[in-house]
Structure formats: C-alpha cells, structure tokens
Chains A and B, each alone.
With several copies, the nearest count.
Chain A
Amino acid sequence: MTARVGVVTFPGTLDDRDTQRAVRVAGAEAVPLWHRDKDLKQVDAVVLPGGFSYGDYLRAGAISRFSPVMESVIAQAKDGLPVLGICNGFQVLTETHLLPGAMLRNESLHFVCREQKLRVENADTAWTTDYTAGQEISVPLKNIDGRYVADARTLDMLEAEGRVAFRYLDVNPNGSLRDIAGITNEAGNVVGLMPHPEHAVEPLIGTGRTDGLGFFTSILKKLVNA
C-alpha cells in the first residue's frame, strides 16, 4: 500500500507537475486536484504547490484561498489532514489563517532565485520526520513576496511552541522576521515554507542536491505506518 498525496492546481500554479514528480520520486502516488473541485478524492495528504496563482494579483494567495478546493482543505486540515504549502502554497495557508502571519514583498523589492541554506528546526511535523532537528539543508528558493511577518506576540508564541519549522541560514533572502523560512500549526499537520524542496529531489537537476526529498519521504512513512 502506498500513500496518495494530492497536489492542487490553481490557475497560475507553476510547480504542480514538479511537486507530483517529487511525490512519485519519494514512492507515493500523486493525485492531481483541481481548484474548482471540492472533492479531495480521498487523498491522505495535500500539497499546495508554488507558483503565481491568479498572478499573485491583489496579494499572493488571496484569491486562491476562496476556491472550492480550499473549503475542503481547510475543513480537513482542521481534522488533521497533513497539508504542505510551498511558496505560493504557504502564502495561501497564511491567507486562510491555517497558519499565522502574512507574507510581504521582499525587502530588496526584487524577485530572488538562489540556492538557500536552511536549518530544520522542528523534525516532528508530518512533513519533517525524515530530518533531524538542527539539520542543515540546501534547496532552491525563488519568490518576490517572501518576507514573513507577524506581530511580536505571535512570533514569540511560534518560538515558544517550537513552531518555527525552518530558518534561513547564512543569508536571509527576503527580510523575513527572525529568519523564519517556514512554520507549522500547533498539531504539526499543516506546514508552510517559502523555499522549494520539490526542486531538490534528483541529483543533477536544479541544485544537484536531493535535500528536499525528506519532505516527501517523511509524509510517505507517516502515512504508511499510520
């Protein structure tokens, strides 16, 4: 038995096919989900991939958040469905308030594309058990609205509860507060991050490293062992 991981396509999503590939490389089954369908096809987990859904118009993620598929994702995430939001997917998750905070334009005001070093701070979420806490990984990062912000109380809470899941190392590429690259919800099933693990699952392609594969093997193990 293998796990079925849904990958949502919104209009303007770009990394859906890459994410499906990453799911397959990890050994799970990738199930395409369409923004207009409420039906999640009984998947065991959902990834909201990167891209520019609705052109990032208004605010990144603001329009997608209201799609039919998100109604189901929001409802089931609250019941424990594992959900991973990558880049634009992370932006959608903050817009839905499944994750706290918000994303603003990069401090440099430019789009930035680079190989980014991260520290995995929380290796207990549904998507990070194949890493060890404190592990350093390098994956591609590419965004223009990637500056994570939240008020001080929220940030303190995230820190205190160990919910800062990933932190930028060496360079903070977008001015995110407290170098936050990704966070998790309290239950650990909903995780969002700006960098792109799905672009780092095959040697030779992209950065030539496979540091991102752990996200997809983590969820597979969790689901298969469940």
Chain B
Amino acid sequence: MARVVVDVMLKPEILDPQGQAVQRALPRLGFEGIADVRQGKRFELEVEGPADDAALARIREMAETFLANTVIEDFTVRVEAGS
C-alpha cells in the first residue's frame, strides 16, 4: 500500500472567500503577520500496489478529470514521503 496525496487549490486568479475569511479573522484572534491565506483541498489516496509511474499517471488523470475542476483549480500529485 502506498499513500498518494493530491492537493487541489483554486487558481491564483480566482477569489477565495474561504481563505479570505480565515485571513480576516486572524488579527482578531491575535495572530498578526499573515499576509495571505488560501484554502484548498487535500486528498489522501491509499493505493493498492506500488505507487509507480503507471499508478501516478492514472492518479494524475483522475485528478484532472475528477478531483479537480481545472476551470478553476490547479492540482499537484505526489507520493507521501515514508509510505
């Protein structure tokens, strides 16, 4: 079993109200010095079998067509260190 992580973030040009809401709240909670916050999604996939190139290619396709909506989102795929 290997763990593959897919991170999905809104494209930089898309307004991220969730991230903004977090950022706006921080000073009120006493946390200063955070210039920007973006909020996205993280998927942890447990892959049966090895996370080899073939598996990663399939997962990249899965991210492209399904996990991310590429009209608004970018994604990255990586094998979790230590798995």
Please say whether the chains A and B touch (CB closer than 8 A).
Answer: yes
Q: Is the Cβ of B21 less than 8 Å from the Cβ of A102?
A: no
Tell yes or no: B76 within 8 A of A by CB. Answer: no
Q: Is the Cβ of B25 less than 8 Å from the Cβ of A63?
A: yes
Of A66, A95, A105, A150, which is within 8 A of B25 by CB?
A66
Q: Is the Cβ of B67 less than 8 Å from the Cβ of A58?
A: yes
Of A58, A95, A97, A151, which is within 8 A of B21 by CB?
A58
Size of the B side of the interface (Cβ < 8 Å), in residues, is 17
Of A57, A66, A94, A101, which is within 8 A of B17 by CB?
A57
Tell yes or no: A104 within 8 A of B by CB. Answer: yes
Tell yes or no: B71 within 8 A of A by CB. Answer: yes
Tell yes or no: A62 within 8 A of B by CB. Answer: yes
Q: Is the Cβ of A54 less than 8 Å from the Cβ of B21?
A: yes
Of A57, A94, A101, A151, which is within 8 A of B18 by CB?
A57
List of A residues within 8 angstroms of B13 by Cβ: 151
Q: Is the Cβ of A66 less than 8 Å from the Cβ of B14?
A: no
Of A57, A102, A147, which is within 8 A of B71 by CB?
A102
Distance, CA A59 to CA B14, complexed state (A): 16
Q: How far is the CB of A18 from chain B (nearest CB, A)?
A: 24
Tell yes or no: A55 within 8 A of B by CB. Answer: yes
Tell yes or no: B58 within 8 A of A by CB. Answer: no
Chain B residue, CB-CB nearest to A107? B17
Q: Given contacts A57-B17, A57-B18, are A66 and B71 in contact (CB under 8 A)?
A: no
Tell yes or no: A109 within 8 A of B by CB. Answer: yes
Q: Given contacts A57-B18, A109-B17, A149-B14, are A101 and B67 in contact (CB under 8 A)?
A: no
List of A residues within 8 angstroms of B72 by Cβ: 102, 104, 149
Tell yes or no: B45 within 8 A of A by CB. Answer: no
- Give chain A's interface secondary structure class: loop
Q: Given contacts A55-B17, A57-B21, A175-B17, are A62 and B28 in contact (CB under 8 A)?
A: no
- Contacting B at CB under 8 A, from A149-181, are 149-151, 175
Of A54, A95, A106, which is within 8 A of B69 by CB?
A95
Q: Is the Cβ of A57 less than 8 Å from the Cβ of B69?
A: no
Q: Is the Cβ of A54 less than 8 Å from the Cβ of B14?
A: no
Q: How far is the CB of B40 from chain A (nearest CB, A)?
A: 12
What residues make up the interface of B, taking CB atoms closer than 8 Å to A? 10, 13-15, 17-18, 21-22, 25, 28-29, 39, 66-67, 69, 71-72
Additional 7 contacts, C-beta under 8 A, given A102-B69, A109-B18: A57-B22, A58-B25, A63-B22, A94-B71, A102-B72, A104-B17, A149-B15
12 interchain pairs, CB-CB under 8 A: A55-B18, A57-B18, A58-B21, A58-B25, A59-B69, A63-B25, A66-B25, A95-B69, A147-B17, A150-B71, A151-B13, A175-B17
Q: Which are the 4 A-B pairs with shortest beta-carbon distances?
A: A57-B21, A57-B18, A102-B71, A102-B72
